Chain A
Amino acid sequence: KAGVTQTPRYLIKTRGQQVTLSCSPISGHRSVSWYQQTPGQGLQFLFEYFSETQRNKGNFPGRFSGRQFSNSRSEMNVSTLELGDSALYLCASTPGDSNEKLFFGSGTQLSVL
């Protein structure tokens, strides 16, 4: 079974631009969640989608948005990029049950210049 796939692996943008990150979950997994990882802050939860519906949302500004498609693939969008948005963005999938572990992708490293 293929793992969680995130594209692109690396991304360089300038302030004010927008960016879209993609995540393909493990086949059969219906829940996809997104995290922002920065040194010293650990993993900050962005949002979680389950069967195309946003089920949970973290404390991030409205510039951060996401969606999930009928095939469970998910995209995350960040508009009006700021320097502080530079981070590793991780996607994780689970079948959807609360006691199941997260399966993580390798992440997208976003650098905002």
Chain B
Amino acid sequence: AQSVAQPEDQVNVAEGNPLTVKCTYSVSGNPYLFWYVQYPNRGLQFLLKYITGDNLVKGSYGFEAEFNKSQTSFHLKKPSALVSDSALYFCAVRADTGNQFYFGTGTSLTVIP
């Protein structure tokens, strides 16, 4: 069965510090991995995706994520957090053999000034 786990409901980080939002997945076949961000009263916005190739993926707003096949993880990172990064972050996976996306429960990121 396909699934995504985001083990932290809430992550707090000081402005200027590096941030990490964790994601692990389970999928049959090769994974297509995605990160989305949701601001209050808005839909989800795409940040980045991993399909194949380089394990380090760079995306919008200075975010990046590292695909680790052995640990089945796809953690989201940013070297220096901004207050404006405060939002809800969702990890999602889709198998290369299927059409359905599976989302994690989301991690609320708060960047403290």
A: residues with CB less than 8 A from B are 4, 31, 33, 35, 40-43, 45, 48, 50, 55-56, 90, 92, 98-99, 101-107
Contacts and interface: CB of A to CB of B under 8 A. Distances in A.
A33 B51 CA distance: 20
Contacts of A4: 43
Given A104-B45, A106-B43, A31 B103 contact: no
Contact of A105 (B43, B51, B104, B106): B43
**Most B C-beta atoms less than 10 A away, residue of A35, A41, A55, A99:** A99
Interface residues of B, number: 27
Contacts of B22: none
Nearest to B94: A98
A35 B104 CA distance: 13
Interface string B75-111: 0000000000000001010111011111111100000
A87 B49 CA distance: 27
Contact of B105 (A40, A50, A98, A107): A40
14 contacts: A4-B43, A31-B99, A42-B104, A42-B105, A45-B100, A45-B101, A56-B98, A98-B95, A99-B51, A99-B96, A101-B49, A102-B44, A102-B46, A104-B45
Contacts of A40: 9, 105
Contacts of B105: 40-42
**Most A C-beta atoms less than 10 A away, residue of B43, B96, B98:** B43
Contact of B32 (A35, A99, A106): A99
A92 to B, nearest CB: 8
B34 interface: yes
Contacts of A102: 34, 36, 44, 46, 92, 101
The 3 closest A-B pairs by CB, nearest first: A42-B105, A104-B43, A43-B103
B99 A50 contact: yes
A102 B104 CA distance: 15
Given A42-B90, A42-B106, A45-B102, A98 B96 contact: yes
